[in-house]
Structure 1
Amino acid sequence: MECGYYDRDLCRSCTVIEVPYEQQLARKQELVRELVGAHGEPRWLPPVASAQAGFRNKAKMVVAGRVGEPTLGILDGTRGVDLQDCPLYPEPITRALHGLAEFTARTRLLPYDVAKARGELKHVVVTANPAGRLMVRFVLRSTRQLPKIQENLAELRRLVPAADVVSVNLQPEHKAVLEGPEEILLSEQGELSMPVNGIDLRVRPRSFFQTNTGVTAQLYRQVRDWVDAVDPTTVWDLYCGVGGFALHVACPDREVVGTEISAEAVASARDTARAMGLPQRGPGSVRFLVADAAATPADLPGTPDLAVVNPPRRGLDASLCAWLEGSGVGHVVYSSCNAKTLARDLARMPSLEPVEARLLDMFPHTGHYEVAVLLRRR
């Protein structure tokens, strides 16, 4: 992939962009095979490659610069570097970033100055679905300039006409945390539809969704294929997010329960299940609970035939590993963005043997990836 920002030494976020993509993929495959291989010898399916450009469905842009002359991109120390034309983003996001820069300048929103710890607008976050519809979020330090955004929503619609969801997040603290706990919805629509494999998932402003929709679709299909081959009667989807795995494995003879600590994500998952006409009890049911995955097994009756886990980079809590190891659950599907913590967790669950695995390259030009493993009780 060609990137003028990288060539001009303005941005080095894509740390391995100079490595041919085939080699990037091979290096990641070698790494995950070595880490997982210490705990079994699964059959490795061919790796899933990504598009090399335009694959990211979300742009998290730091706002810097001056009133009337904002930059949207990253910080070089405390200086803003404008990355509105970053080739990682698809055209709808690029157009939106240009529109948001113009909106920020015209409404004279005050960029946050990290060095002086003053100013108001910290970030803009844009999420795009496959059809090019958008969710736009402004991250402000306070409500001081909220009225400016509210009063100029018509102008925002003109400059970013694809924005279906618009919100403001308040992050008053001076630290490197993207968002705060309070979200103020400014649009009538509160969720962005995210169609994946024929399932119209929904994403709210504070919901997590994988950043590479194309590879995510293949991840969901892979997990669905594994679950269907095992053919369990009961499935628990721990760390379920907006319900992607749970809704993909739903079928008439199966009961599926998803748990997630984010109430926003669970609300989105429930909306999708309701729209699909899925019952909440009995065969064919899918239900979602707001719960900490580590504590969930103690709160749910019985033991599922199969569990799906998709933890953050830190991996599973030791308590959840201990429960899975001693529970008698027959199969586990583990989707991981960090093979080092995956390997640590496999060591904690020696009764669960890796039988099939696949690398899915969510993040080209970096050292990051997703790896999914099917585990079977020995």
Structure 2
Amino acid sequence: MSTAPLCHHFDAGRCRSCSWLGLPYDVQLLDKQRQVETLLAAHDVAWLSPVASPQLGFRNKAKMVVHGTADDPTLGILNPAGSGVDLRDCPLHTPGIRAALPVLADFVTTARVTPYDVPARRGELKHLLVTESPDGELMVRWVLRSQEPVTRIQKHLPALRAALPALAVASVNLQPEHKAILEGDREILLTEQETLTMRVAGLDLHLRPQSFFQTNTAMAAELYERARAWVSEVGPGSVWDLYCGVGGFALALAGPAVDVIGVEVSTEAVASATLSAREAGVDATFVAGDATAYAVAAAAPPDLVVVNPPRRGIGAELAGWLETSGVQRVLYSSCNAQTLATDLAAMPSLRPVRGQLLDMFPNTGHYEVLTLLERR
């Protein structure tokens, strides 16, 4: 495989977020596979070939820092000096997002929404968050310091929807603190449509503004398909999906003979998962709560537990519970093989028998790894 054309921002040194962009893609995959195999070398894992991603145009969500002025905004990142670097043409984003960002930059000017100046601590618009569904619909969120610009955004929203027909869901998120936090707790919905439908792996997953979804749609589909295939081989009668998010794993594994429960701390995500299950006619239950607390308080374990934790891993308490619970199988989807290795060490009775790397984050050292654990 040849080296992909380099991003002109990368070539100019303006943005090095894709730190591996200069490596041929086959080398990237080989290096990632070596990393995960080294980290899990203590276990006899049957490794399947890594799953490659499109190297560019794969990212379904743009998280843009807004800087500059209302007349001349930048959408992108901040450089070390605190000035804006405009990345509205970033080649990682899907074509729909790349087409939308210039229109949204013009909207900042039209609606007179002043970008937030980090060093001066003044202004309103901190971030612009844009998500594209596989159907080409868009969710747009303005992250503001206060409600002051909301009336102007609402006033000009019809014109924006005319200029951007793909816009389906729009909201304002309020993040008043001067901290490096992407978004706040309060969301103000501006459209009648409340969710974006992410159609992946035969699933229609509803995504609300504050819900998490994998940023690489193609790899998310591969992840759910593999989970479905691996789990169908062992035929569990009951499944828990801990850290279930909007219910991807739970709904992929649900069936007439499977009792599925998803647990997620985000009430927004649980509402999304519940709606998806109801529309699909799937018998799955979703609970808002802490995954570890739910497991520890349960009277008995299911046949199989799915865990898809954040980068910090599942932690000692949940790993300890899984070790002693008697659960026969665990499907662990990890975005950090270092914490995966730590968690596996705390569960010696659960042996990883199969693993596969999915390149969820091309051009970086990050990836997703799926492992199936079976009790010895």
* TM-score higher than 0.5: yes
TM-score (normalised: structure 2): 0.97
Structure 1 residue 294 displacement after superposition: 1.2
Partner of 2:310: 312
**2:263 equivalent to 1:259:** yes
Pick from 69, 72, 81: which aligns with 2:72?
Answer: 69
Partner of 2:357: 359
**Counterpart of 2:298 in structure 1: which amino acid?**
L
CA displacement, residues 232-254 of structure 1 (integer Å, 9 cap, x when unaligned): 11100000000000000111111
Structure 1 residue 32 displacement after superposition: 0.4
CA displacement, residues 26-80 of structure 1 (integer Å, 9 cap, x when unaligned): 0000000111122x11111110000011000000000001121000000003100
Q: How many residues align?
A: 371
Structure 1 residue 301 displacement after superposition: 3.4
**2:157 equivalent to 1:159:** no
Identify which range, 153-162 or 328-337, moves more after superposition: 153-162
Partner of 1:344: 342
Instruction: Give the secondary-structure state (helix, strand or coil) at the position aligned to 2:27.
Output: helix
Structure 1 residue 298 displacement after superposition: 3.0
Give the 5 Å matches for 1:93-242. 93-242=97-246
Distance in 2, matches of 1:319 and 1:109, equals 46
Instruction: Give the secondary-structure state (helix, strand or coil) at the position aligned to 1:37.
Output: coil
Partner of 1:281: none
Distance in 1, matches of 2:299 and 2:65, equals 45
Instruction: Give the secondary-structure state (helix, strand or coil) at the position aligned to 2:246.
Output: coil
**Counterpart of 2:286 in structure 1: which amino acid?**
F
Structure 1 residue 131 displacement after superposition: 1.6
**2:330 equivalent to 1:332:** yes
Instruction: Give the secondary-structure state (helix, strand or coil) at the position aligned to 1:214.
Output: helix
Instruction: Give the secondary-structure state (helix, strand or coil) at the position aligned to 1:164.
Output: strand
**Counterpart of 1:183 in structure 2: which amino acid?**
E
| Uncovered stretches (5+) of structure 1, i.e. residues with no partner | 279-284
Distance in 1, matches of 2:133 and 2:228, equals 22
CA displacement, residues 179-211 of structure 1 (integer Å, 9 cap, x when unaligned): 000000000000000001121111000000000
Distance in 1, matches of 2:303 and 2:77, equals 46
**Counterpart of 2:155 in structure 1: which amino acid?**
E
**Counterpart of 1:120 in structure 2: which amino acid?**
E
Partner of 2:49: 46
Instruction: Give the secondary-structure state (helix, strand or coil) at the position aligned to 2:278.
Output: helix
Answer yes or no: is the 8 Å Cα contact 2:358–2:368 preserved in 1. yes
Answer yes or no: is the 8 Å Cα contact 1:233–1:255 preserved in 2. yes
Partner of 1:282: none
CA displacement, residues 215-242 of structure 1 (integer Å, 9 cap, x when unaligned): 1100111111111111111100000000
**Counterpart of 1:50 in structure 2: which amino acid?**
S
Partner of 1:20: 24
TM-score (normalised: structure 1): 0.97
**Counterpart of 2:214 in structure 1: which amino acid?**
Q
**Counterpart of 1:359 in structure 2: which amino acid?**
L
Distance in 2, matches of 1:355 and 1:366, equals 27
Structure 1 residue 300 displacement after superposition: 3.3
Structure 1 residue 373 displacement after superposition: 0.4
Answer yes or no: is the 8 Å Cα contact 1:100–1:159 preserved in 2. no
Distance in 2, matches of 1:106 and 1:159, equals 12
Structure 1 residue 6 displacement after superposition: 0.6
Answer yes or no: is the 8 Å Cα contact 1:103–1:155 preserved in 2. no
Answer yes or no: is the 8 Å Cα contact 2:133–2:198 preserved in 1. yes
Structure 1 residue 263 displacement after superposition: 0.3
CA displacement, residues 63-103 of structure 1 (integer Å, 9 cap, x when unaligned): 00112100000000310000010000111101111110010
Structure 1 residue 313 displacement after superposition: 0.2
**2:58 equivalent to 1:60:** no
Distance in 2, matches of 1:303 and 1:24, equals 39
Answer yes or no: is the 8 Å Cα contact 2:296–2:318 preserved in 1. no
Instruction: Give the secondary-structure state (helix, strand or coil) at the position aligned to 1:225.
Output: helix
**Counterpart of 2:87 in structure 1: which amino acid?**
L
What is the percentage of aligned positions where both structures have the same residue? 57
Partner of 1:301: 299
Answer yes or no: is the 8 Å Cα contact 1:142–1:170 preserved in 2. yes
CA RMSD, 1 decimal:
0.8
CA displacement, residues 330-356 of structure 1 (integer Å, 9 cap, x when unaligned): 000000000000000000001000100
Distance in 1, matches of 2:73 and 2:135, equals 28
Answer yes or no: is the 8 Å Cα contact 1:103–1:159 preserved in 2. no
Instruction: Give the secondary-structure state (helix, strand or coil) at the position aligned to 2:291.
Output: coil
Distance in 2, matches of 1:55 and 1:67, equals 30
| Uncovered stretches (5+) of structure 2, i.e. residues with no partner | none
